[in-house]
Amino acid sequence: MSDLPPDLPRLRTLETWLTMSLDRVRQSIATEEARLAELAARLPPPAPPEWELEADLAKRPVRVHVGGCTMGGKGLRSRAITRGDALRLLGVDRLEACPYCRPDAELGVLD
């Protein structure tokens, strides 16, 4: 047994009421999203990581960068690493150091 009214006029009234309710909910969602976007725009951007690892398109490590280096990989091609990871990658794994930001000089592992 259906919980909906059996006749067309009441079904149309219910449809109108549900449409108006859905519109109000969507407007509330849009208002809240705008408020959150405005709040996020006022926050300072997060600080760059201290060290970054650049990867190639196959996600293999390519070179180490000082955090915030503009010559590093962007987006999915770059990830934050710890100081210990940077030291190991440059010293033990002999990964290439960025020639612009010189993480090897910052870390003191020049040959």
Does 1 score more than 70 pLDDT? no
46 pLDDT band, cuts 50/70/90, is confident
Does 111 score more than 70 pLDDT? no
**According to the per-residue pLDDT averaged within each range, which of 28-32, 44-48, 93-97 is highest?**
28-32
* Residue found by looking up tokens 């390519």 in the block: 62
Mean pLDDT of 41-46: 90
Instruction: Please state the pTM of the whole predicted model.
Output: 0.61
Computed over every residue of the chain, the mean pLDDT equals 91
**DSSP string covering 53-104:** EEE-TT--EEEEEETT-TTS--GGGEEEE-HHHHHHHHHTS-PEEPTTT-HH
